[in-house]
Structure 1
Amino acid sequence: MDEREGNGEDVVYDRALLLHGAKRNEVLTLEEIRRYGSDSFGDAEYVRIYGMPPAQWYGRGIRLLGRTAVECTRDALADLIGSDIASLAAKMPSTSSFTVIDPFAGSCNTLYWVLRHLVKAEGIAFELDPLVYALSNRNIAFLDQKIELVQGDYQTLLENRNIPADRGVVVFVAPPWGTALDERVGLDLRRTTPPIGEVVSRIGRTFSGQPLLFATQVYEKVNPASLADVRALVDWSELRIYRLNDEGRNHGILLATRGGTP
């Protein structure tokens, strides 16, 4: 029997179980959150979100699905991403205020950290999945940052959004990776759901008259051809990898701009 089919202590709480297996759409208990951290990263406190360790955020009533626990950007990484976005946004031309868009909200943790770092910014997030939306909408009500979370497809909803022309637009691009990530060969940006290039192109057309800053979450290994495809869509880009563990499973960010260079 596969160890993931067993019960109790013999179950390995890893990416496969939580993202593709029996726990995908289940609300995890605190013990399961800690098991995932221990089994996958050797750290029971690994899933730190909204500035809190698991016991604290769970105690406040915050809950995660199995897939969200895997796909959420934990605090250590989200903090660095938010800081780098704010630093680059300060160099964008003729822009003093920003609208930060997260087309694939998930837990909203990265957006939460971006708003902590980027002053004079408002945040709007979109979540298509009703289960994830319901939990995240409930979770962010406990936070100290105001985030507007909308259920539905970002493509349609953004077209009806009137963002003032004098505001800069920051877009955090992190669609579900799913099978696009192979930890041995890296992340193929063409195989995310939807592809990264498609997201950059669509939002670029929607806000063609405004300064745009894209921040795309990536893995430490990225398929070179897929990276080149995305870079061809922007005016400037820089890849940054954050070394946060010794497991060879670090993440990073592709910062890119359209309508100007920093």
Structure 2
Amino acid sequence: MNERREPGDEPVHDRALLLYGPKRSEVLNLHEVQQYGVDSFSDPDYIRLYGMAPAEWYARGIRLLGRTAVECTSDFLGDRIGRDIASLAASLLSRTRFVVIDPFAGSCNTLYWILRHVPHSTGVAFELDPHVFELSKRNIAGLDRTITLTQGDYQSLLEGQEIPPEHAIIVFVAPPWGTALDEVTGLDLRRTEPPITEILGRIGRIFLRHKILFATQVYEKVNADSLTELRTMLDWSELRVYDLNVAGRNHGILLGTKGWKPM
């Protein structure tokens, strides 16, 4: 539990301050990154990225905006997501090559972990916000995975993306949640920005002839109707929640396929 702050102390570094407050578009210093971890998760090293604790990645010149610190996937979760996706992707032929698409790249950390675990894979990412894009482009430049990051709206950019028909596609779906997440009622998948059903529908139409594996990031509490609506769009699906935080504040993924079903 966090200690009570006295008047004049620095503000609580939580979701409200970093995502909606004055820190949203500011580059955080190391103390602010660690304070967010302490205030929100009782762990100064919570924002682990690319296999590194905050002190290490900060020393290497990696920087985050306030909004990205909140929206990014930490290593603990990214690793679990990557392993589960790789396990499911292994249902396809061992020689299958994969293109992993992240329409809302942010830090690219989840994409990084998926690429670490899925053999024969390359990453394609899109980021609409120019400030997030510039920082992430510099941050991933020295990583040991192939990620092509483009600034712009995935909706128009994916239309011109040529992927050989024999390649399978993995899509990590994690648009900004914004007000779609309510700590009491949970995450409404119809109110993300844009709605997740819209994203799956668009990508499914663009790559109609490909085998697609969607991995949609969800919250431990999910609006039941929105989850049911999403699952009807998939040929197969499975919900997984990761026990990494206190009960009620855990994240998970809905794994789902189009054009194939796992063995």
Tell whether the structures are fold-level matches, with TM greater than 0.5: yes
Deviation at 1:212, TM superposition (A): 0.5
In 2 relative to 1, CA 164–97 (structure 1 residues): closer, same or farther, beyond 3 Å? same
Deviation at 1:94, TM superposition (A): 8.5
- 2:108 maps to 108
In 2 relative to 1, CA 58–201 (structure 1 residues): closer, same or farther, beyond 3 Å? same
Q: Deviations over 1:165-202 (max 9, x none)?
A: 00000000000001100111100000000000000000
- 1:158 maps to 158
Structure 2: which 5+ runs fail to align?
A: 1-5
Deviation at 1:246, TM superposition (A): 2.3
- 2:204 maps to 204
Say if 2:78 is the partner of 1:78: yes
1:150 partner SS = strand
Say if 2:206 is the partner of 1:185: no
Q: Which letter maps to 2:229?
A: D
Deviation at 1:259, TM superposition (A): 0.4
Q: In structure 2, what is the Cα distance between the partners aligned to 1:14 and 1:160?
A: 39
In the superposition, the TM-score normalised over structure 1's length comes to 0.96
- 1:240 maps to 240
Give the root-mean-square deviation of aligned CA atoms: 1.4
- 2:223 maps to 223
In 2 relative to 1, CA 191–225 (structure 1 residues): closer, same or farther, beyond 3 Å? same
Q: Deviations over 1:28-70 (max 9, x none)?
A: 0000000000011111111001000000000000000000000
Whether the aligned pair in 2 keeps the contact of 1:92 and 1:261 (CA below 8 Å) is: no
- 1:125 maps to 125
In 2 relative to 1, CA 62–174 (structure 1 residues): closer, same or farther, beyond 3 Å? same
Whether the aligned pair in 2 keeps the contact of 1:48 and 1:74 (CA below 8 Å) is: yes
In the superposition, the TM-score normalised over structure 2's length comes to 0.95
Deviation at 1:7, TM superposition (A): 9.1
- 1:29 maps to 29
Count of paired positions = 257
Q: Deviations over 1:87-106 (max 9, x none)?
A: 10111368611000000000
Say if 2:55 is the partner of 1:69: no
Whether the aligned pair in 2 keeps the contact of 1:92 and 1:211 (CA below 8 Å) is: no
Q: In structure 1, what is the Cα distance between the partners aligned to 2:245 and 2:204?
A: 34
Whether the aligned pair in 1 keeps the contact of 2:50 and 2:75 (CA below 8 Å) is: yes
Q: In structure 1, what is the Cα distance between the partners aligned to 2:257 and 2:110?
A: 19
In 2 relative to 1, CA 208–7 (structure 1 residues): closer, same or farther, beyond 3 Å? farther
- 1:49 maps to 49
- 1:146 maps to 146
Q: In structure 1, what is the Cα distance between the partners aligned to 2:7 and 2:59?
A: 26
In 2 relative to 1, CA 31–240 (structure 1 residues): closer, same or farther, beyond 3 Å? same
1:9 partner SS = coil
Structure 1: which 5+ runs fail to align?
A: 1-5
Q: In structure 2, what is the Cα distance between the partners aligned to 1:12 and 1:22?
A: 12
